Amino acid sequence: MNVRMTKPNDLSALAPDYIRSIAPYQPGKPISELVRELGLDEASVVKLASNENPLGIGPRTRAAIDAALGEICRYPDGNGFELKAALAARFNVDMNAIVLGNGSNDVLELISLAFLMPGRSAVLAQHAFAVYPLATQARGARAIVVPAKNFGHDLAAMARAVAEDTQVLWIANPNNPTGTFAPAGEIEALLQAVPPRVLVVLDEAYSEYLPLDSKYDSVKWLKRFPNLVVVRTFSKAYGLAGLRVGYGLMHAAVADILNRVRQPFNVNSLALTAARAALDDMEFVARSYATNLQGLRQLEEGVQALGLEAIPSYGNFLTVRVGKAAEVYKRLLRRGVIVRPVAGYELPEHLRVTVGTAEENVRFLAALGASLKE
Question: Binding of ligand PLP at residue 243 (CB under 6 A)?
Answer: no
- Ranges within 299-358 binding ligand PLP (CB under 6 A): none
In whole angstroms, the minimum distance from the beta carbon of 305 to ligand PLP comes to 27
In whole angstroms, the minimum distance from the beta carbon of 304 to ligand PLP comes to 24
Which amino acid does the sequence have at 186? E
Question: Binding of ligand PLP at residue 172 (CB under 6 A)?
Answer: yes
Distances 126 to 15, 105, 123, 138, 242 between C-alpha atoms, Å: 27, 19, 10, 18, 28
Which are the contacts of 47, defined by CB distance < 8 A and separation ≥ 6?
28, 29, 30, 31, 338
Question: Binding of ligand PLP at residue 176 (CB under 6 A)?
Answer: yes
Q: Which residue is nearest to ligand PLP (CB)?
A: 103
In whole angstroms, the minimum distance from the beta carbon of 232 to ligand PLP comes to 8
Instruction: Round to whole Å and give the CA distance between 335 and 45.
Output: 8
The single-letter DSSP state of residue 152 is B
In whole angstroms, the minimum distance from the beta carbon of 118 to ligand PLP comes to 25
Question: Binding of ligand PLP at residue 103 (CB under 6 A)?
Answer: yes
In whole angstroms, the minimum distance from the beta carbon of 239 to ligand PLP comes to 11
Of the candidate spans 18-26, 102-110, 209-217, 304-312, the one that interacts with ligand PLP by CB under 6 A turns out to be 102-110
In whole angstroms, the minimum distance from the beta carbon of 235 to ligand PLP comes to 3
Distances 125 to 132, 159, 177, 258 between C-alpha atoms, Å: 9, 11, 12, 24
Question: Binding of ligand PLP at residue 105 (CB under 6 A)?
Answer: yes
Choose between 103 and 336: whose C-beta lies nearer to ligand PLP. Answer: 103
In whole angstroms, the minimum distance from the beta carbon of 206 to ligand PLP comes to 7
Q: Please check whether residue 59 is in contact with residue 281, taking contact to mean a CB–CB distance below 8 angstroms.
A: yes
Q: What are phi and psi of 28, to 5 degrees?
A: -65, 145
Choose between 58 and 101: whose C-beta lies nearer to ligand PLP. Answer: 101
Instruction: Round to whole Å and give the CA distance between 325 and 119.
Output: 37
Question: Binding of ligand PLP at residue 202 (CB under 6 A)?
Answer: no
Which amino acid does the sequence have at 76? P
Question: Binding of ligand PLP at residue 241 (CB under 6 A)?
Answer: yes
Cis, bond preceding 174 (omega within 30 deg of 0): yes
Which amino acid does the sequence have at 101? G
Of positions 129, 225, 247, 314, contacts ligand PLP by CB under 6 A: 129
- Which among 299, 312, 305 is positioned nearest to 339, based on CA atoms? 299
Choose between 259 and 316: whose C-beta lies nearer to ligand PLP. Answer: 316
Which amino acid does the sequence have at 278? A
Q: Please check whether residue 83 is in contact with residue 100, taking contact to mean a CB–CB distance below 8 angstroms.
A: yes
Question: Binding of ligand PLP at residue 235 (CB under 6 A)?
Answer: yes
Of positions 246, 336, 341, 356, contacts ligand PLP by CB under 6 A: 246
Q: Dihedral, CA atoms, 203, 183, 227, 137, nearest 10 degrees?
A: -40
Choose between 267 and 367: whose C-beta lies nearer to ligand PLP. Answer: 267
Choose between 121 and 235: whose C-beta lies nearer to ligand PLP. Answer: 235
In whole angstroms, the minimum distance from the beta carbon of 216 to ligand PLP comes to 17
Angle (deg, nearest 10), helices 269-278 and 59-68? 150
Of positions 233, 291, 292, 371, contacts ligand PLP by CB under 6 A: 233
Question: Binding of ligand PLP at residue 51 (CB under 6 A)?
Answer: yes
Give rounded-to-5 percent helix, strand, coil for the chain. 45, 15, 40
Choose between 318 and 367: whose C-beta lies nearer to ligand PLP. Answer: 318
- The site for ligand PLP, by CB under 6 A, has a size of 14
Beta strands in 130-284 (DSSP E): 142-146, 166-172, 199-203, 228-233, 246-250
In whole angstroms, the minimum distance from the beta carbon of 252 to ligand PLP comes to 22
List residues near ligand PLP by CB under 6 A: 51, 103-105, 129, 172, 176, 203, 205, 233, 235-236, 241, 246
